[in-house]
Amino acid sequence: MLISPIEDNNFREGKMTKLKAHIVSRGRAEGDALVTSQPISFLGSIDMKTGIVIESGHELAGKSIKGKILVFPGGKGSTVGSYAIYQLKKNGAAPLAMINIKAEPIVAVGAIISDIPLVDCVEKNPVTAIRTGDKVLVDAIVGSVEIL
């Protein structure tokens, strides 16, 4: 479900700010968005101590997910990725919340055991509707994403 340039302009002009979303892991968080169109493997692609993306060639390489609203299509890789998300949380290097196009079990379980709000199936493609640096409120209690 991609956004046409006309729809995106209407969205950006403030005609729509709140998007419905499916709740995967309950909670609420507000912060700056960090957006990628590439899937993320939490095991081996992210430094567990700092939250910095270390995967060579990834469009977020060198950037930290710590304290961000992480927007990405979904996860990839090993089921140990769920524990990697938990380890990020324990180390204080996790994102505040996550938004996926479609969450898969590895990211879903990681978010749930780490108490990180996670939504997916947003009514507009979050990877194109949200830009890095946008202030975003993820409300995974009522099921919405709001660009502030």
| Set 25, 37, 78, 82: catalytic member | 78
Per-position DSSP letters for the chain, written without gaps between them: -PPPHHHHHHIIIII--EEE-EEEE--EEEEEEEE-SS-B-TTTSB-TTT-BB--TT-TTTT-B-TTSEEEES-B-S-TTHHHHHHHHHHTT-S-SEEEESS--HHHHHHHHHHT--EEE--SS-HHHHS-TT-EEEEETTTTEEEE-
CA–CA separation, 126 and 49 (whole Å):
27
78 classed as catalytic: yes
Structure tokens at 13: 């002009």
Catalytic residues: 78
